[in-house]
Amino acid sequence: MRYPLGKVRGLAIEAHLSLLLPLGLLALLKQPDGLLGALLRFALSLVVVLLHELAHLAVGLYFGAQPQGISLRPFAGLSSLSEPPHSVRGDVVTTLAGPLSSLFLGWLLVGFGSLTPFGTISQVCKSVGYTTLYWTVFNLLPALPMDAGRLLWRWQVCVSGNLSSAADVTAITSRIIQGAVVFLGFVTHNPFWFALAVYLYFVGTLEIAALMRETQSHAATATVSPPPYADSRPERVEIKRLD
């Protein structure tokens, strides 16, 4: 279930009901600064995720994309485009805009938390800042639903020109990384890694399934897509159908 939060320059922003899960997890972990600290961490984390997605949309708009809106979810958000950027370069820069903005915000929060004299605010800012930096590094792993996973898919399409093989490579790589994160969760006994492994597995599984369906759909027309760049005609390629 999704609930509208408002609009930014005409872009609809909505929150998924599952956002209550990380808030409950923060409360159960008994933060040293109590429930207030958990609420502040939750709110500040949402702001960071929102700015991450807005960076995607702002850069995409510059490169000719048509943004639709933002959906806030646990651990991450989802920015949707009705049309992708008009060039490969624009698509890559649009995808990288989110992680780069998170990297900047992470260091900004850590720096601010180190300088502020207020104990609770200092702890919350540094905690969210370091978590943002860790998540940014994780987001650069080439696995769906991470940004680097989407870059892997687009790079494979451009290199091979074959949707089927590009989808296979992306799916296999994603599965390997998902398995590694699950293993890390078991080895470290860290609740954060367990939660991240569950998120990566289930959301990644949904994105892989969507990628396969899209591959089958475009295989019928034998076009290289997504993304169908507006400044070039789709190329016809040899594509094997997926059973």
pLDDT tens column, 1-55:
666 777 776 777 887 766 666 656 655 565 666 677 777 888 888 888 889 888 9
pLDDT score recorded for residue 235:
39
Q: Within this chain, do residues 60 and 169 fall inside the same structural domain, yes or no?
A: no
> Tokens 């939750």 sit at which residue?
42
> Distance between CA atoms of 129 and 127, rounded to whole angstroms?
5
Q: Within this chain, do residues 23 and 121 fall inside the same structural domain, yes or no?
A: yes
Who has greater pLDDT, 63 or 35?
63
Q: Within this chain, do residues 36 and 124 fall inside the same structural domain, yes or no?
A: yes
Quote the number of domains for the chain.
2
Q: Within this chain, do residues 199 and 130 fall inside the same structural domain, yes or no?
A: no
Q: Which domain holds residue 193?
A: 142-243
Label residue 217 by pLDDT band (50, 70, 90).
low
pLDDT score recorded for residue 107:
96
pLDDT score recorded for residue 25:
63
Q: Within this chain, do residues 84 and 135 fall inside the same structural domain, yes or no?
A: yes
Who has greater pLDDT, 152 or 118?
152
Q: Within this chain, do residues 220 and 104 fall inside the same structural domain, yes or no?
A: no
Q: Within this chain, do residues 179 and 210 fall inside the same structural domain, yes or no?
A: yes
Q: Within this chain, do residues 221 and 147 fall inside the same structural domain, yes or no?
A: yes
How many CB atoms lie under 10 A from the CB of residue 235? Answer: 10
pLDDT score recorded for residue 242:
42
Say whether pLDDT at 100 is over 80: yes
Average pLDDT, the chain: 75
pLDDT score recorded for residue 223:
40
Nearest to 147 by CA among 37, 226, 53, 35: 53
The answer to whether 219 and 242 have CB atoms below 8 angstroms apart is yes
Mean pLDDT of 218-241: 41
Residue 136 buriedness (CB in 10 A; 0-12 / 13-18 / 19+): buried
> Distance between CA atoms of 3 and 219, rounded to whole angstroms?
36
Chain centroid to CA 33? 29
The answer to whether 86 and 63 have CB atoms below 8 angstroms apart is yes
Q: Within this chain, do residues 132 and 40 fall inside the same structural domain, yes or no?
A: yes
Question: What 8-state DSSP symbol labels residue 81?
Answer: E
pLDDT tens column, 75-94:
667 777 666 677 777 888 88
